[in-house]
Structure 1
Amino acid sequence: MRHGRLRYLLGAAFHGLAWTEWGPEGGAPVVCLHGLTRNGRDFDTLAEALAGQGRRVFCPDLPGRGASDWLPDPRLYVPPSYVVALGHLLARLEGPVDWVGTSLGGICGMLLAAAPGTPIRRLVLNDIGSHVPAAAAARIAAYVREDPRFEDLAGLEAHLRQVHAPFGALTDAQWRHMAETSARRLPEGGIASHHDPAIAVPFAAAAEGPIELGMVWDRVAVPTLVLRGAESDVLEAGVAARMAARPGVALREFAGVGHAPALQAADQIAAVAGFLAA
């Protein structure tokens, strides 16, 4: 695993976008992008597997998450801003790239894949689609508005186990890894999650009703694999089925999982790796 960083211009200032990178530098690139409150280290297991197949894997931290810079104005924490930052990374790669996006990472992937001249060759949408129900958006907004503090890593891990229980049956080691890569040490002592609490501000406004992404999805023409947790409240079964009815779109559902598959189980990794290898 290597670490990378670039500067991107957003508004009137430059900011830093960080990522972890896996695999040979000459490998065909894959970008794996995380969900709303997460970071690129969520993909360590998947990235290691893809790197073992010769792929060069980039796992960015979205602005305000992980090792990337926080933004000065909470109103900037919206997908168009993220696409600006990610566009700088894609420009550096200068060629076709595959995209794996979980939840918000999938929304960013759809926006980029829908753009004329997109460099995205194949797209994996992990439990996100053309419509997010209002109830699901409100559920996510409720825990994103929280900004809990913890005495130690065990407290953060217990919190992650609770709010991300829909990820599925992760092992103790996987939960601990998530906590270790999500921790932010506070100057006054204690631990918080490694994201800017201000990301909740624009999301709360967006979550006042259903999130409609159909106009974006309609412009996506690249081969797409839609992954769905069988118990997901974010990607409803009917929405996923309608998406999969389109030529060039495949659907894979995982039992015992909600929003969203963690992409750490062997069958989930095999589904992604097989699709990207085509």
Structure 2
Amino acid sequence: MVKYEYIECKNPNGQHRMAYTQWGNPENKRVLICVHGFSRTGRDFDYLAAALQEKYRVICPDIVGRGKSDWLSNSSDYGLPLYISDMLTLIDKLNLSNIDWIGTSMGGLIGMFIASQKNSLINRLVINDIGPEIVPESLKRWATKYLSQGKPNFENLTQVTEYVREFYSDYGTLADIEWEHIAKNTVKKTSEGQYKLHYDLSIIDVFRVSKGELKPVDFWQTWSSVSSPVLLLHGKESYLLLPETIKKMQSIHPQITVKHFPCGHNPPLLSTDQIEAIADWLN
């Protein structure tokens, strides 16, 4: 059974706990941090962490508002600035150095910002299906997906599995056991014995209060400050990471390797080919 550990982090209105799991030898100086996507948890990296734990101390946090981490009383505190701050707190409190980083979607953006800082501790950066630019049409499609999901409750894990097969259909063709793994880490059990989504639905409030057209995400200046080698994973049918974005990323950053996979947003990092692509590049 995977054991959770916790650290205390600060937010504009107080403090909160961030949960994380660890794999491998805790004394290993070679550290790999794996950060999940917007509505996911660190348990998305179970397969990857199990494969890499012989060579790495693997640390997989649940970003605040998700999984086993605390929820915030003020939804306006959710966002990249706090997530970046929390990860820097984790790095500091665990006295980490010599870090490699794998970030899926939102986790890739967090890693990009930390890697862009002067004297960053990130040696190598794996970004899973996200880039420094998201055009308004793509951002609107992504936001609409979450705004339209409602507040589903499930009677059993079979219903949850049916839900994730549809909601995360961009992941592509997966084995039943892989869908079941995703399902188990999409919900938590209620006191009534039912299941509900593991995350605070308030993380979506930023889209509810936005008026007019969503502004494009433009982090090109941040990207230009990243100096570490980068592995970019791309779902061939992704609507968030577009081919023209990849080309521009390559023109700016000379040390970038791109791997394409037959799926949408984002490669779920459960299959052998995806895990081996990461392991081979890191090693």
TM-score, normalised to structure 1, is 0.94
Does the aligned pair in 1 maintain the 2:133–2:219 contact within 8 Å?
Answer: yes
CA deviation map 1:117-143 (0-9, x unaligned): 211111001000111122221222123
**CA deviation after TM superposition for structure 1 residue 240, in Å:** 1.0
Q: Is the CA contact (8 Å cut-off) linking 2:236 and 2:260 kept in structure 1?
A: yes
Equivalent positions of 1:111-190 (< 5 A) are 111-145=113-147, 146=149, 147-188=151-192, 190=194
Residue type at the aligned position of 2:201: P
State the secondary structure of the residue aligned to 1:82.
Answer: helix
Q: Which amino acid aligns with 1:121?
A: N
Shift in CA distance, 139/33, structure 1 to aligned 2, threshold 3 Å:
same
Q: d(CA) in 1 for partners of 2:266 and 2:190? A: 29
Question: Counterparts in 2 of 1:164-243, with a 5 A limit?
Answer: 164-188=168-192, 190-204=194-208, 205=210, 208-243=214-249
Q: Deviations for 1:66-125, whole angstroms, at most 9, x for unmatched residues?
A: 000001111111000001111111112331211000000001001111111211111001
Change (3 A) 1:230 1:158: same
Equivalent residue, structure 1, for 2:60: 59
Query: How large is the Cα RMSD of the aligned pairs?
Result: 1.6
Q: What residue number does 1:252 align with? A: 259
SS at match of 2:153: coil
Deviates more, 1:91-100 or 1:121-130: 91-100
Whether 1:101 aligns to 2:107 is no
Partner residue in 2 for 1:24: 25
Give the partner amino acid of 2:278: V
Moved more, 227-236 or 8-17: 8-17
Q: CA deviation at 1:9?
A: 1.4
Task: Name structure 1 gaps, 5 residues minimum.
Answer: none
CA contact (8 A) 1:2 1:22 kept: no
What is the one-letter code of the residue matched to 1:211? V
The within-5 A match list for 1:43-82 is: 43-52=45-54, 54-82=55-83
State the one-letter code of the partner of 1:190.
Q
Measured after TM superposition, the shift of residue 179 of structure 1 is: 1.0
**Equivalenced residues, count:** 275
Structure 2 portions without partners, runs of 5+: none
Deviations 1:136-162 (A, max 9, x none): 212221232232222222222111111
Change in Cα spacing, 1:49 to 1:242, as seen in structure 2 (3 Å) is same
Counterpart amino acid of residue 20 in structure 1: T
Structure 1 residues 37-48: aligned runs within 5 Å: 37-48=39-50
Question: How far 1:188 sits from its partner (Å)?
Answer: 4.8
Q: TM-score, normalised to structure 2's length?
A: 0.92
Is the Cα contact below 8 Å between 2:31 and 2:96 reproduced in 1?
A: no
Aligned AA (1:251)? V
Q: State how far apart, in whole Å, the 2-side matches of 1:77 and 1:57 are.
A: 25
